[in-house]
Amino acid sequence: MKKASLWSMILLVTVALTACAPDREAQSNNGQATNNGSSSNNGVNNEVQSQGAEQSDKPDKLIVWSNDDPNQLQAVEQLAQSYTNETGIAVEVLPVSDKEQVQKLALAAPAGNGPDLFYQPQDRLGDIVMQGLAEPIALNEQEQAQYSEAALHAVQYEGETYGFPISVETYAVYYNKELVGKVPASLEEVIALSNELTDAANDTYAFLMVPDFYYAIPFITNYGGYIFGETDGKYDASDIGLNNEGAVQGLTAYAQFVKDTSIPVTMTSDVMDTLFIEGKVGMVINGLWSMKTYGDKLGEQLGTASIPALNGKAAPSFVGVKSWFISSYSEHPDWAKQLALFLTNTESSNLYYEQTGEIPASPDAQKGITNELYSGFITQIESGMPMPNIPEMSAIWNMDSAIDFIVQGDNPQEVLEETVQQIKDQIAASGQ
């Protein structure tokens, strides 16, 4: 997920919203085990329909809020029609921007005008739960098998599972095969290659990345730093590990890495993209969202790979997960669950990938991807870490300023101590 979208993560939780949130214990049990989610995951079989009917009456219609991206919308509409053909339940798909859904849901759902299913990136889950907008779900073993372990972890909050993952995204290495025959095995080896290929005076580089927190996370975690402490699947926002000894050591190494590879400390994604497609850069770290731009310009010269290892360990990246969530105000949560499982089964995930280009959250669907440019990203996801989904994460982006100061030569220990205090103060002021 692009970092800019994360700034909109936190909405104020008003007393009025809290008061009108539904009593979850009064909802029908949408967590009953079903037999959907087998390895084939094709269709909605009669047994599943029967189980849904035992839990609640079969509805005439279900309402889905899809993101308004044209490719996503077309895929969801096509899948919804398939579900209707198999079950007889009409599905109304309404285009609503994912950036607007939470606010609109908070206003519309209590009045009975909301959806049964809505669509969100997982990093907004904490805010969604705080407002009482999403229903927790229970997935049996077969249903869990529809999704990768990383994707399921990303849609858990305070020990409960909420989402049905659709797709996953992260960043990885793009490389120009004419300049770099093979991506080095470690970032330490990237430094050696930079000494051979980089000529900053002529805007040619062996390796570039935007120096900010989003991309620098491997240098923090692989030396012992962390964002929030975590116990039994729950984040502890009072335990921030961004100024511990490991974080200081890692970001000291990061500043040295930026210097040794001659990465301009003011590098932006636009400048990096321009240099890369002009054939002046051997490798860049960027997200799946850049694949089409790079592919159109570089063609068969373009390759992808996972991020080289760092400090003797696989280098993690932030992983974003987009998911369906059941509205707490849905009058048909059991059937909404069956629809969500259908929309994210292997066959549906294959169609969704073909129309959107997004990597499915389904491991079986991932195996069916034949475009070799996806290989680096799929491998990288195995080492990825979910973006923390608690509301306090919004304050963590103060780390961008910390990275700026550190790569420009300020003392990492002092910068991190000051930044973490700012983060704690912001969290305290927000009342979270």
What pairs with residue 322 in β-bridges?
Answer: 121, 167
Q: What is the pLDDT of residue 427?
A: 95
Domain 3-169+320-380 in this protein, CATH class: alpha beta
Strands (E) in 53-123, as ranges, are 61-66, 90-95, 117-121
DSSP state of 134: B
In this predicted structure, what is the pLDDT of residue 233?
76
Query: Where does the chain hold its CATH 3.40.190.10 domain(s)?
Result: 3-169+320-380, 171-318+389-430
What is the pLDDT at residue 24?
34
Q: What is the pLDDT of residue 98?
A: 94
pTM over 0.85: no
pLDDT tens per residue across span 125-152: 999 999 999 999 999 999 999 999 889 9
Report the C-alpha gap between 149 and 158 in whole angstroms: 17
Domain at 171-318+389-430: CATH architecture: 3-Layer(aba) Sandwich (3.40)
pLDDT for the residue numbered 56 = 65
Q: Looking at residue 14, what is its pLDDT?
A: 35
* Terminal CA-CA length for the chain: 24
User: How distant, in Å, are the alpha carbons of 26, 118, 287, 379, 405 from that of 207?
Assistant: 56, 40, 15, 20, 21
Using CA atoms, how far residue 106 sits from 14, 100, 133, 306, 328, in Å, is: 10, 10, 7, 39, 10
At 431 the pLDDT is 75
Which residues of the chain fall below pLDDT 70?
A: 1-56, 432
CA neighbor of 358 nearest in space, from 374, 381, 382, 340: 374
Q: What is the CA angle 215-228-174, rounded to 5?
A: 15
What is the rounded CA–CA span in Å between residue 201 and residue 131? 53
